[in-house]
Structure 1
Amino acid sequence: MECAVPHGNRVRYPGRGYRPVAVLPRDVVEQTELCGADTDLEAALEFAAFDAEPGADGWLLDGSQSAVAAAAFADAFLVEARTGAGSRLFFLDRDTEGLTITEQQLVNGTDAALIELRAASVPEANMIAASEAAAWAARRATLATCALQLGIVERALEMTCEYARTRKQFDKPIGSFQAVRQRLADAYIDVEAVRLTLWQAAWRESHSLPAESELAVAKFWAAEAGHRVAHSAVHIHASTGIYLDYPMQRYFTAAKRAEFEAGTATAQLRRLGSWLDTVEY
């Protein structure tokens, strides 16, 4: 499932074919973790985990990011870093001096790594100079995360419905119980909300229309509905839902990771509030 999000892309090198590239995700955190009330909200909600300063031969990058998917085996990395002129994207080879990679294993069993940069030297030619490149990549990464979450919760709901039809209690399928039916119906509404808001944001982004609010709404539903559907699926499965040899637990951990990727539901509501504050009626 990790292949669906922009962590394990492949980039073509002249004369060397295609090589896997890991994309280091932009951090999105709660405002209170970063700053006081006077700090800009956008800076609090979205910030790069790395800093870049001009060096003798280009740029020097510092910072660290944990749980970067595909980083354990990627040949190169696409890193967003802060500069004096805003965020920029930098392309780093795996053997870049000052780059340290520590392999990690995530709770859903996938490979990842801790990426640390200590005065890593990056040539000027390896910086994507377009000022909107970092924001463009962040928007597309958010869409990809929402699409991944849609696939996760949709399949989790299908498996849960099938289980509710076949699992019997008191000689009746548990799906015939009103409480179970209501929870499955709520989960269906949540899945469709993720689908609708995802496609609305994706359509606007694909037509180069402003989509900041639509992206925030889509990620809100991917996080909030993803949380509810994942928990409902495990609860209806009861103890079977957490067996390591049963697939439902993998959908649960995948949904939880997608819930926090690119920002929590609370972070999206704050982003929407900030956007609404700028709208002139």
Structure 2
Amino acid sequence: MDFDLTEDHAEVRDLAAQILGDLARVERVVEVERNEGGFDARLWETLASSGLIGIALSEDVGGAGLGMGGLVALLEQQGRHVAPVPLWSVVAGAALPLAEFGSPAQVEQWVGPIIEGTAIVTGAFDAAPGQAARLTGLAVDGGLRVTGELPQVPAAPVAQAVVVPVTAEDGGLRVALVPLDRAGVTVVPVAATSNESAGAIVFEDVVLTEDDLLPADGATVTAWTRRRLRIALAAVALGVCEEDLRITAAYTSERVQFGRPVSTNQAVAVRATDAYLDTEAIRLTTHRAAWLLDNPEQGGEEPAEPASLVAKWWASVGGLRVVLAGQHLHGGIGADIDYPIHRYFLWGRQIAFSLGSGDAIAAELGDVLPTAPRIGAPA
């Protein structure tokens, strides 16, 4: 594949860089974290009016039709600016699955407003494959009675609805679109590592009708959505690592000790080089996974599953190494929460453990790679 951005994707990158560069400066991010609950409503409105929230959705539902490649280009820039808006969870976790699997009524009611920025619908797909969903539903006339708790959902305090899997009493999986003002639903704000808006959502005998349930097979919707969520998270990690590395390179080149820049010390140069290689690995694996989804003639969803896991593994493992290196190479100032580098460290950690840690992703990857050698098998 060609890893260069297409002309359209490059335009998305440039537009996103311009908007985020103007509206997500460090002082604005600090203000949002401290006074606005970790969600920048003004930036969200601007992203919507520029058409960027709908960049990955098809033109049939009002999007730009630029697929996962377009979303990756956007999210990379978000990561560079650690901009506090829930792009990955809203677009990949809600808008895309609703557009693909929702009923005509669900699409009409929710997808357009999401793209326009007038409604925030977030996704909650954190249960690992093979595990029961965090919510369970008992059959009632015409639907399900749902109980359970989602411990940390991105943007829950500012969202109007959540898209979430539910395990039915027969063991089957359904995916529901639940308005957060429904009787029995409670949202409790919680602190996220990244300081972004997040909340626990508690369901107490919440009655869902068939109108609230996506008409497609729940297991299919969940796998399809998690694939895109992981690629989206990897794209954010790419931007975080790129900017973390840029800031660190500038600092170590300007910081002088014993009469010479810190960057001229071999240990510093080698650590920074390793961080660069990890960042490039995240870039290549993320772009490849997005490309596979955007080019179904290459095999469709099947090869994209391991590719999305590989991208998320690099984001979790390599990404964590990069932000740790950034902290360490800044020395004592790296621990100063008033200095920008710490925020990239926090975002890197948040991403590393969202939708599966490195070890959890590696275990999933082993399950989907039939050609993987047995442990202890000869080479």
Say whether 1:218 aligns with 2:311.
yes
Equivalence for 1:116: 202
Secondary structure class of the residue paired with 2:139: strand
Say whether 1:19 aligns with 2:125.
no
Equivalence for 2:335: 242
The CA distance in 2 between the partners of 1:278 and 1:124, in whole Å, is: 41
Secondary structure class of the residue paired with 1:6: helix
TM-aligned CA deviation for residue 112 of structure 1: 1.2
Say whether 1:43 aligns with 2:130.
yes
The CA distance in 1 between the partners of 2:368 and 2:361, in whole Å, is: 10
Task: Choose 47-56 or 134-143, whichever is displaced more.
Answer: 47-56
The CA distance in 2 between the partners of 1:12 and 1:253, in whole Å, is: 37
The CA distance in 2 between the partners of 1:140 and 1:225, in whole Å, is: 19
Structure-2 change in CA distance of 1:244 and 1:71 (3 Å): same
TM-aligned CA deviation for residue 85 of structure 1: 6.2
> Which of 248, 261, 271 is residue 354 of structure 2 equivalent to?
261
Say whether 1:100 aligns with 2:200.
no
Letter in 2 for 1:5: W
TM-aligned CA deviation for residue 56 of structure 1: 2.2
> Which of 165, 172, 176 is residue 264 of structure 2 equivalent to?
176
Equivalence for 1:60: 145
Name whichever structure is richer in helix by fraction: 2
CA contact (8 A) 1:7 1:68 kept: no
TM-aligned CA deviation for residue 86 of structure 1: 3.3
Matches within 5 A, 1:223-234: 223-234=316-327
TM-aligned CA deviation for residue 142 of structure 1: 0.9
Letter in 2 for 1:58: G
> Which of 57, 65, 82 is residue 167 of structure 2 equivalent to?
82
TM-score of the superposition, structure 1-length normalised?
A: 0.87
The CA distance in 2 between the partners of 1:76 and 1:128, in whole Å, is: 14
The CA distance in 2 between the partners of 1:172 and 1:96, in whole Å, is: 63
The CA distance in 2 between the partners of 1:177 and 1:110, in whole Å, is: 36
Equivalence for 1:138: 226
Structure-2 change in CA distance of 1:57 and 1:81 (3 Å): same
Equivalence for 1:33: none
Q: Give the RMSD, CA atoms, in angstroms.
A: 2.2
CA contact (8 A) 1:4 1:148 kept: no
CA contact (8 A) 1:26 1:80 kept: no
Structure-2 change in CA distance of 1:12 and 1:256 (3 Å): farther
CA contact (8 A) 1:51 1:82 kept: yes
Letter in 2 for 1:130: A
> Which of 70, 81, 86 is residue 155 of structure 2 equivalent to?
70
The CA distance in 2 between the partners of 1:171 and 1:12, in whole Å, is: 65
The CA distance in 2 between the partners of 1:179 and 1:205, in whole Å, is: 40
The CA distance in 1 between the partners of 2:138 and 2:290, in whole Å, is: 34
User: What is the CA deviation profile of residues 49-72 of structure 1, one whole-angstrom value per residue up to 9, with x for unaligned ones?
Assistant: 212232124111121111211101
TM-aligned CA deviation for residue 90 of structure 1: 0.5
TM-aligned CA deviation for residue 88 of structure 1: 2.2
Say whether 1:3 aligns with 2:86.
yes
Letter in 2 for 1:4: L
CA contact (8 A) 1:57 1:121 kept: no
CA contact (8 A) 1:27 1:48 kept: yes
The CA distance in 1 between the partners of 2:199 and 2:344, in whole Å, is: 21
The CA distance in 2 between the partners of 1:81 and 1:188, in whole Å, is: 41
User: What is the CA deviation profile of residues 238-266 of structure 1, one whole-angstrom value per residue up to 9, with x for unaligned ones?
Assistant: 12112111111111010001001111111
Letter in 2 for 1:86: G
CA contact (8 A) 2:254 2:261 kept: yes
The CA distance in 2 between the partners of 1:76 and 1:90, in whole Å, is: 10
Provide the identity percentage: 30
The CA distance in 2 between the partners of 1:95 and 1:278, in whole Å, is: 48
Secondary structure class of the residue paired with 2:178: strand
TM-aligned CA deviation for residue 279 of structure 1: 7.5
